[in-house]
Structure 1
Amino acid sequence: MSDHIAAIDAIAAKYDNDPTRLLDMLLAVQEQERYVSDAATRLLAQKLGLSWGDIQQTVSFYHLLSQEPRGKYTVYLNNGPVSIMQGYEGVATAFSEAVGCSFGSVTADGRIGLFTTADMGMGDQEVAALINNVVFTNLTPEKARILVKAMQKGVPAQDMVTDNTEYGKYGDGNNSLPSIHSMVCNNLIKPGPVCFGPYQAGAALRKCVAQSPEQVLAEVKASKLRGRGGAGFPTGMKWELCAKAEGPERCVVANADEGEPGTFKDRVLLTERAQLLFEGMAVCAYAIKATTGALYLRGEYAYLKDYLEQVLEQMRSDNLLGKDIAGKPGFDFLISGCSWVLAPMSAARNQLLESAEGRRGEPRNRPPFPAQSGFHTMPTVIDNVETLAATVQIIDKGATWFRSLGTEESTGTKVLSISGDCDRPGVYEVEFGITLGELLTLAGARDPQAAQVGGPSGRCLNAAARDTAISFEDCPSAGAILIIGAQHDLLTIIDNFMAFFTEESCGSCVPCRTGTWMLRNTLRRIMHGQGTREDLTSMRQLSAVMQKTTKCGLGHTAANPILNTLDNFPHLYDALIPEQTDIRSFDLEAAVQASNLTVGRASVAKEEQV
């Protein structure tokens, strides 16, 4: 017991006994013990001055944290839509048969646990899995069996990925660096002039310090850059609001939690253009006079953490971060390492702040907005990785150059993650204004019946939408485009999206907590041939209520997969609803059996019923 106490004390001390670093501590505990025990929870509560309930509610919120042992080897297999399209069922069966237990359980000897996760940011190389935070991609049933044999032999997960083994080999670019050593591939199919164009480290910062903060801010505003995370809010306006907010200190937070299924562009930016991102944070810091920065990194990208820390250290050595940056007295900006998180959809700005401060990723009430009171109550700019990277090129090459790319209202380029039924899945940096049809041709789409633009919360478009432009004026996208071929049942993909939303709802507001389940259950009833025309109407009505009354972006957009397919693919629903039926079929006996099972009551034989 004394060793256990000492281990928990050491973990807390590593993070200065700071309650706002609770998530980092919990992750360290789980990595060490393979779960977060009640004893560890109570020790941390005493050490940090928190209640047991404070820590318990945080542990229970994040899907990669567990209060029960999850095995010496914890396997998380992605069951998102692209994974399903690429052979998830066969890989899952191979894992389960080779391990000897079903998903959601651990072997009797405690060696291997099998679990699923909604997305890993690996949509271009599915089927993918995490084993003790090590990423494995392009899995097949045979590869799954090979990995199980390695785990049964006791091979450490990281040792299963080397320069060239039967388990896998290093990926391209920086993925092969000693600080990463990952089998992940970049799949950068089409580099563009902004995020993946020519870049001279420090050039933008040197131009910044030769100007006033107000001039830098004016240049960003003149570029007409809009946020690349999906909402499209003018970046210069956001920075200006933060710069004018009252407060002794300001903060810059880079949101690297691209959690919606099908999105993986930030993974490549973090791998190949990390310095561009961090320099963008410093540009923002100069413009708004911030002194503190933080990177909010999704848990599935933890394999990049050591590499990102090395990039930060090198930039401090090169006087591009730290004190008197680029030789400018008083320009001090410190990015305090990489806090990594666990909940795929917690990256809406207010949820992000709650999570970054060590709590459940639930939405804050607004106002105040982050620009007024954000990270640790400081006025805070929260920008997407791609947005911050673009600001470096704007300062270096000028707003006029940036506006020459894209369209009048959507200036610059957009980095897209394209996956699904296509010959060339990967990352594409294209100018805004490119049409969906042009993108499908670039990616080598195979007989597409639909394209999901912007992830599950975006738009599901049919073949008639090939001339739709990717732009804020026409069809915006946070970055994901999923191509769904004619061979797939589209409503099965939509059901997967709805399962994602039901799982990721934080539960803090009723319309989202119950509405997502009601929509999914109604969809499934229709898919099973038990739906009515009334169901189609009720789904639209419920969707309207959710859009108007939920607290955050997830709830506002959770009904989009249903609404989009009702509008653009009505024939799929028509084919499943029996003609001349306005009364929903009801199986009384099945309902009674389900009720008995739920409450643990024995069924009564018909002859015994009174």
Structure 2
Amino acid sequence: MGVQRSDPPMPDATEIARDAIARHGTAPVQLLAVLHEIQRRYHGIPRAAMEVVARAFGRSVAEVEGVIGFYSFLHERPHGEYAISFSDCPVDRFLGQDELIERLCRQLGVAPGQVRDDGRVSVETTSCTGLCDQGPALLVNGRAIPALDPGRIDTIAGLIEQRRPLEQWPGAWFRVEHGIRHPGPLLEAPEQPGKALELALELGPAGVLERIERSGLRGRGGAGYPTALKWRYCREAPGEHHVVCNADEGEPGTFKDRELLRLRTGDLVEGMTLAAFVTGAREGFLYLRAEYGFLAAELEQHIAERRSAGLLGHTILGREGFDFDLHLVTGAGAYVCGEESALLNSIEGRRGTPRNRPPYPVTAGLWGRPTVVNNVESYIAACRIVLQGAEWFTRHGTERSRGTKLLSISGDCARPGIYELPFGTPVGEVLELCDAGEPVGVQVGGPSGTFIAPPEFARRIAYEDLSTGGAFMVFGPDRDPVAIAAQFSHFFAHESCGFCTPCRVGTALQQRLMERICGGRGTVADLQELEQLAGLMRQASHCGLGHTAANPVSDTLARYPEYYQARLQGAALQPQPGRPPADSRKEVARDA
């Protein structure tokens, strides 16, 4: 539809590539930054630019092309001058996002997933923008606009047609609220720049490690590996060491790191510096998810300010030999890069394919060197433990799950946002805090976690019960668990890296079967095939993505078999939130 461009011709792609390389350098860790800049200026990464990049980085063109093809935020084919991404997360879709996408596309004359004929605009979806508490939301050229409504969509369409630069759009649109509803000891404690490092110098590396160990701190990403043990193994491994922060919270429904990165930046960087002090690392990397690229400038500024204050760089706090510097790496959109070895490959400028384990990163991480990888919340907790002592931390939580947990609560509740609660808090209490009414179910831990029904709301948020990296999605009594599981099956099929056959083929088959069931064309044999697929993916997949890809389907099939049975019969079913999970073997007639 659109009109032909009347603006000056686009600069030559090879010139843009050479300029980006001159700006960022040719260290492997800079490859993503170079590709991001080329795309930002050219709206895509054509083959001519790939050839320049390949020569500069000592790679083949096929390798560079493979990296670009792996990440959903990098494109060979040019995207729009205004590149718009909506979240495909069920929570955002339930807020009316599909209607907003259709409205925007209709006004701009562009089809979803396409670029308009004149190259002005493209509209697509991404798995989750990390704004579920403030949705519906979109990203335009990487900048977040939350709280969308039809009126704002109409205005956005007008500004794009007028070709108004984003700097001239209303500034209030880009304001992302902090969303903290229920702060706890981690969020309430005031930051004290440098104080934890001063204490560390008094305690020594062994003393810091002992304090972390006594606290019982476990990784906050969901797996719960003891933090002190990870640091100790890395410390004892020979060779040059590294410290990495996993700020790639790509699990749909998770957004706590978005605020920790803004409000607790000092504690985060200090926690990483403490890990470096214990392990002897001199270099660290903060890996930021692409959807949070709008936070990059503030993070870079904070890192620079800490260098100036003597809290990063050479001779930290005047201590000879205490050298540690930190670099920011922005990802390019790949859920699988939340897995630590995939993230390390991405930092190295490679496709984010998970590695075989063992060896583990603590002995063979970045460039084969011992590497500590923890997430944002874990480093912040480590900083507070050194400052306030192990006993301060152990006052909260359970025997096996010490401290508090930050939950990203979204969906059908009156008070979505970020809640810091003691480990051991029952799900029912969480639902009361966020005013959720009587939901049909809750997805704890995102799609890779556990979907629970009302009879299970007495279960607790804890490593020994319901472990979660932070996602807590509430689904009201009018929601259909089968449709939700189908959406998550689409997510896993899209995010599979394709490395191993069980996951690549299994997630695609799972998606196809769920689409057939949701369309009223499913059979009992399809349900049996879904269960067989789930077992295959769990047993044979290369990494955690494949191991957990069937969780939403398996959980809902076990807890809501009557919903599946109604789909097979082609009948609509009214939710019954108080009904206990039925015997799945009986309900789906598997013994017939």
User: Is TM > 0.5 for Structure 1 vs Structure 2?
Assistant: yes
The whole-number CA distance in structure 2 between the counterparts of 1:130 and 1:2 is 25
The whole-number CA distance in structure 1 between the counterparts of 2:104 and 2:461 is 39
Q: Which residue number corresponds to residue 584 of structure 2?
A: none
Q: Which residue number corresponds to residue 208 of structure 1?
A: 200
Answering whether residue 270 of structure 2 is matched by residue 279 of structure 1, we say yes
Determine helix, strand or coil for the equivalent of 2:134: coil
1:337/1:521 CA distance change after superposition, 3 Å: closer
Determine helix, strand or coil for the equivalent of 1:574: helix
Answering whether residue 564 of structure 2 is matched by residue 562 of structure 1, we say no
Contact 1:341 1:356 in 2 (8 A): no
The whole-number CA distance in structure 1 between the counterparts of 2:181 and 2:541 is 38
Structure 1 unaligned blocks of 5 or more: 169-181, 584-610
Q: Which residue, out of 91, 110, 116, partners 1:101?
A: 110
The whole-number CA distance in structure 2 between the counterparts of 1:552 and 1:196 is 37
Q: Which residue number corresponds to residue 45 of structure 1?
A: 54
Q: Could you tell me which amino acid in structure 1 is paired with residue 357 of structure 2?
A: R
The whole-number CA distance in structure 2 between the counterparts of 1:313 and 1:44 is 28
Q: Which residue number corresponds to residue 350 of structure 1?
A: 341
Which range moved further: 335-344 or 393-402?
A: 335-344
Determine helix, strand or coil for the equivalent of 1:10: helix
1:3/1:525 CA distance change after superposition, 3 Å: closer
Answering whether residue 415 of structure 2 is matched by residue 424 of structure 1, we say yes
Q: Which residue number corresponds to residue 501 of structure 1?
A: 492
Q: Could you tell me which amino acid in structure 2 is paired with residue 411 of structure 1?
A: R
Q: Which residue, out of 129, 134, 140, partners 1:125?
A: 134
Q: CA deviation at 1:483?
A: 0.2
Q: CA deviation at 1:346?
A: 1.6
Q: CA deviation at 1:347?
A: 1.4
Q: Which residue number corresponds to residue 315 of structure 1?
A: 306
Q: Which residue number corresponds to residue 56 of structure 1?
A: 65
The whole-number CA distance in structure 2 between the counterparts of 1:581 and 1:202 is 60
The whole-number CA distance in structure 1 between the counterparts of 2:66 and 2:154 is 36
1:283/1:525 CA distance change after superposition, 3 Å: same
Answering whether residue 411 of structure 2 is matched by residue 443 of structure 1, we say no
Answering whether residue 516 of structure 2 is matched by residue 525 of structure 1, we say yes
Contact 1:296 1:341 in 2 (8 A): no
Deviations 1:297-326 (A, max 9, x none): 001111111100111111112221112212
Answering whether residue 146 of structure 2 is matched by residue 154 of structure 1, we say no
Q: What are the equivalent positions in structure 2 for 1:128-139 lying under 5 Å apart?
A: 128-139=137-148
Q: Which residue number corresponds to residue 10 of structure 1?
A: 19
The whole-number CA distance in structure 2 between the counterparts of 1:3 and 1:75 is 24
Q: CA deviation at 1:137?
A: 0.9
Q: Which residue, out of 230, 246, 253, partners 1:238?
A: 230
Q: CA deviation at 1:4?
A: 4.2
Q: Which residue number corresponds to residue 40 of structure 2?
A: 31
Contact 2:130 2:254 in 1 (8 A): yes
Q: Which residue number corresponds to residue 191 of structure 2?
A: 199
Deviations 1:313-357 (A, max 9, x none): 111122211122123221111102344432233210111011111
Q: Which residue, out of 523, 526, 530, partners 1:535?
A: 526
The whole-number CA distance in structure 1 between the counterparts of 2:11 and 2:258 is 41
Q: CA deviation at 1:201?
A: 1.8
1:338/1:58 CA distance change after superposition, 3 Å: closer
Determine helix, strand or coil for the equivalent of 2:177: coil
Q: Which residue number corresponds to residue 20 of structure 1?
A: 29
Contact 1:403 1:411 in 2 (8 A): yes
1:380/1:61 CA distance change after superposition, 3 Å: same
Contact 1:242 1:372 in 2 (8 A): yes
Q: CA deviation at 1:533?
A: 2.3
Q: CA deviation at 1:578?
A: 3.5
1:581/1:244 CA distance change after superposition, 3 Å: closer
The whole-number CA distance in structure 2 between the counterparts of 1:132 and 1:232 is 35
Q: Which residue, out of 183, 198, 210, partners 1:218?
A: 210
The whole-number CA distance in structure 2 between the counterparts of 1:337 and 1:449 is 41
Contact 1:119 1:344 in 2 (8 A): no
| Percentage identity across paired residues of the two chains | 39
Deviations 1:429-478 (A, max 9, x none): 11101110000010110331110000001000111112111001111111
Q: CA deviation at 1:515?
A: 0.5
The whole-number CA distance in structure 2 between the counterparts of 1:550 and 1:228 is 24
Contact 1:294 1:335 in 2 (8 A): yes
Q: Could you tell me which amino acid in structure 2 is paired with residue 226 of structure 1?
A: R
Q: CA deviation at 1:487?
A: 1.6
Q: Could you tell me which amino acid in structure 1 is paired with residue 289 of structure 2?
A: R
1:455/1:77 CA distance change after superposition, 3 Å: same
Q: TM-score, normalised by structure 2?
A: 0.93
The whole-number CA distance in structure 1 between the counterparts of 2:133 and 2:142 is 19
Q: Could you tell me which amino acid in structure 1 is paired with residue 229 of structure 2?
A: M
Q: Which residue number corresponds to residue 597 of structure 1?
A: none
Determine helix, strand or coil for the equivalent of 2:185: coil
Which range moved further: 36-45 or 13-22?
A: 13-22
Deviations 1:142-163 (A, max 9, x none): 211110100111111243241x
Q: Which residue number corresponds to residue 574 of structure 2?
A: none
The number of aligned residues is 565
The whole-number CA distance in structure 2 between the counterparts of 1:113 and 1:4 is 20
